[in-house]
Structure 1
Amino acid sequence: MKSILEKEGKKIHANLCEISDYIYENPELGNEEFKSSEKLISFLQDHNFEIEKEFLGIKTAFRATYDSKKEGATIGYLCEYDALPEIGHGCGHNMIGSMSAGAGIILSKVLDEVGGKIIVYGTPAEETNGAKVIFAEEGVFDELDAAMMVHPGDKTLASGKSMALYPLQFTYKGKTAHAASCPHEGINALNAIIQLFNGIDALRQHVTPDVRMHGVITQGGVAANIVPDEATAQFYFRAGTKETLDDILEKVKNIAKGAALMTGATLEMSRYELPNDNLKTHENLSSAFMENLKALGIEDIHGPKETGSSDIGNVSHKTATIHPYLSISNCPLTGHSVQMANATITDLAHERLLTGALALAFTGLDVLNKKIEL
């Protein structure tokens, strides 16, 4: 049956290249991907997928379903299509969206015979407020037996790990006063921020090596001769697992409260972006994907690596998930670069669009045929 999928893949190969190039040529930032999402929606509609636009109220999100109406597993493919400011598609999301949509379409051609359901999700804004986080919080991925996507890169890598991330904003409020004539009448909010940074720096020697804590002061006062009455800092806190991160956050929040007590300022803490859970790769699903890549002629395959943070992690806490990498270059590439963006429209990248879509479709078929223990 995989030979049938190969034939179906070849039929849409030109479409995959055209869509990927179109999204590359029309880069759109997160939650502004109107052209990109519409391009993918039209492609899926042409192949009899039922579309829910503006899914969960997110204007550029969608849910596309092909249902055999027969008993079987539900396979999810995840489309990304947001670009980076100034750089464009330096993370290859033009390819990711095309491969995931292509995989869903290819697999749909045998679904009426095999049974089960395919859902292709349009998930905007991976680079910022990743929609997958919202989808996961709303229980969307609970409907899946497996979720998959493949990321372009300079090496082919098995699905690995990503770090859990929590963005936290600290706002301290004090009282203005003349910094020379009556500083004793003021409450210095910037001092509270400085104590916050000092406290977090002191915590660094008491955390495990996987922990990352990095922040900036976004507001610290308006003039040197005025005691600042408001100051704000934004931090990213990361760790190898969500559980470790939760423990770090509790300690950080106590440090922040201590800084307020030390200075007399009041404190407000808020989540200023959406958090990411750590990616938990499903090893059986990952092994099957790698075997399918080998069957498609990909031989130079490397082991997994740990990446930064991504909303794919939130998916993996809901269902069996993989996020492998597929090489599109014969030389090193730097992620989030113009070089990476330009590599997505080369002849090799066009060839790998089909390879990635087929490997995803093959793995979906393995799940439907119960060849993978989930």
Structure 2
Amino acid sequence: MGVLTTSQTSALRALSHEIHSHPELAYQERHALAAIGGLIEREGHRVERGIGKLETAFRTHIGPPGPSVALLAEYDALPEVGHGCGHNLIAISNVGAFLVAAAVASRLEVGIELIGTPAEENGGGKIDLLDAGVFKKTVAVLSSHPAAQGSWGVGGTCLGVVEKLVTYRGVASHAASSPEKGRNALNAVIRLFTGIDGWRQQLDGDSRVHGIISDGGKAANVIPARAEAIIGLRAREKPTLDAMVDRFVEIAEGAALLTGTKVEITEYLRYYEPVTANAELSDVLAAELARLGIDAPRGQLTTASTDLGNVSQRVPTDAVRFPVTHTPIAGHSDAMREASIADLGHKNALITAEVLGAAAVRVATDRALRERISA
């Protein structure tokens, strides 16, 4: 089995620092793409940029053409906290996995490819790539994510999420001299949140509803003719989430009826479907971790969401969760940003690279395993 060389390890650490020090938001990851592509090309591999009509997406391939095992890299950042989700580590663990697999490319029965997937945090780059047919020949997907929980894991799941922009329109009027002539759009938003608060009592333990008032008017002495809220809905199973959306629409329409306003509900964030893990891939990843003396618990639910869920609903998928701290910290935080550039995070990302690379090779060289994965 291939392993990372000392020079490759150094190059991957440098790549992580380069991405981390130049945080880029969704679909703008040009610096990260240049850095990743440059490393891969220096290793002797061709990089296809702009796949799926996304400027900052890429693909590189080893082995025979046709069906492939895909390793998915992420490299976009967050507003304000930069790489507070550790996507620099996701990038190097999957780039490293590709380099590990490349050392034994002549043995492969199907190809192995590294796919760069932009805009995970906001936009859904993997959904774009799915829609463009990038995964149509993919037999299995492997990836990784740094764990703010401080532990290893495989076979994890995530909630699906839908975000809606709710806009209420009423009638403006002077709030003191002629309030009776107005229809208060802000009151409708407040009724919406009141309805949601009551609804939460009936939700199951894994479901979530959360939101903000994104526009509540501009002056205290003017009854707002327009107000809006952004609401996120999350659930573990797609049918549950679909039913939540239906109920949410009823609550939003009820708030409009109560206040004599009009309501418009539109998509704010694309539908990130729940992540489902393939049990056979979990077995492979757990075995590779065990070979290195690492016990990886299975099946942890993360109550965040990712566009990897959309891929997992269509292609057998699993990911390694690797710790960046010894104790839990908050994700999407300054603490997570600092942990994502520290020694422990890099050490475990590079271990993950070897685990993912070995797992990809196993899948790509074992027809019976591939049949079990797809069964």
The two structures have a TM-score, normalised by structure 1, of 0.91
SS at match of 1:303: coil
SS at match of 1:231: strand
- 1:45 and 2:41 correspond: yes
Alignment match of 2:71 (pick from 74, 77, 80): 77
Measure, in 2, the Cα distance between the counterparts of 1:319 and 1:75.
10
Q: Which residue of 2 aligns with 1:148?
A: 142
- 1:304 and 2:299 correspond: yes
Deviation at 1:11, TM superposition (A): 5.5
CA 1:211–1:329: 2 relative to 1, 3 Å: closer
Measure, in 2, the Cα distance between the counterparts of 1:251 and 1:140.
34
Deviation at 1:321, TM superposition (A): 0.7
Measure, in 2, the Cα distance between the counterparts of 1:204 and 1:350.
40
Q: Which residue of 1 aligns with 2:105?
A: 111
CA 1:158–1:32: 2 relative to 1, 3 Å: same
CA 1:366–1:346: 2 relative to 1, 3 Å: same
Deviation at 1:245, TM superposition (A): 0.4
Structure 1 portions without partners, runs of 5+: none
Q: Which residue of 2 aligns with 1:202?
A: 198
Measure, in 1, the Cα distance between the counterparts of 2:271 and 2:220.
35
Q: Which residue of 2 aligns with 1:317?
A: 313
Q: Given residue 257 of structure 2, which amino acid in structure 1 is its aligned partner?
A: L
- 1:168 and 2:129 correspond: no
Aligned length: 367
SS at match of 2:223: coil
Say if 2:52 and 2:133, in contact at 8 Å, map to a contact too: no
Measure, in 2, the Cα distance between the counterparts of 1:325 and 1:41.
25
Deviation at 1:331, TM superposition (A): 4.3
Say if 2:41 and 2:47, in contact at 8 Å, map to a contact too: yes
Deviation at 1:113, TM superposition (A): 2.9
**RMSD (CA atoms):** 2.1
Measure, in 2, the Cα distance between the counterparts of 1:136 and 1:143.
11
CA 1:174–1:100: 2 relative to 1, 3 Å: same
Q: Given residue 364 of structure 1, which amino acid in structure 2 is its aligned partner?
A: A
Deviation at 1:130, TM superposition (A): 2.8
SS at match of 1:167: strand
Say if 1:150 and 1:324, in contact at 8 Å, map to a contact too: yes
Deviation at 1:228, TM superposition (A): 1.1
Deviation at 1:19, TM superposition (A): 1.1
CA 1:336–1:255: 2 relative to 1, 3 Å: closer
Deviation at 1:146, TM superposition (A): 0.7
1:43-91 deviation per Cα after TM superposition (whole angstroms, max 9, x unaligned): 222344443323333332222233424x7x4111111112233433222
CA 1:231–1:62: 2 relative to 1, 3 Å: same
Structure 2 portions without partners, runs of 5+: none
Say if 2:110 and 2:365, in contact at 8 Å, map to a contact too: no
CA 1:280–1:198: 2 relative to 1, 3 Å: same
1:119-158 deviation per Cα after TM superposition (whole angstroms, max 9, x unaligned): 2111122222231122234443232111111122321112
1:28-55 deviation per Cα after TM superposition (whole angstroms, max 9, x unaligned): 2332221111111122223444433233
SS at match of 2:331: coil
SS at match of 2:248: helix
Measure, in 1, the Cα distance between the counterparts of 2:218 and 2:350.
55
Say if 2:157 and 2:277, in contact at 8 Å, map to a contact too: yes
SS at match of 2:141: strand
Say if 1:133 and 1:275, in contact at 8 Å, map to a contact too: no
Measure, in 2, the Cα distance between the counterparts of 1:204 and 1:331.
30
- 1:121 and 2:90 correspond: no
Q: Which residue of 1 aligns with 2:245?
A: 249
Q: Which residue of 1 aligns with 2:89?
A: 95
Q: Superposed, which structure 2 residues align to 1:22-37 within 5 Å?
A: 22-37=18-33
Question: Mean Cα displacement is larger for which, 40-49 or 211-220?
Answer: 40-49
SS at match of 1:145: strand
SS at match of 1:36: helix
Q: Which residue of 2 aligns with 1:219?
A: 215
* Identical columns (%): 34
Q: Which residue of 2 aligns with 1:234?
A: 230
Q: Given residue 136 of structure 1, which amino acid in structure 2 is its aligned partner?
A: L
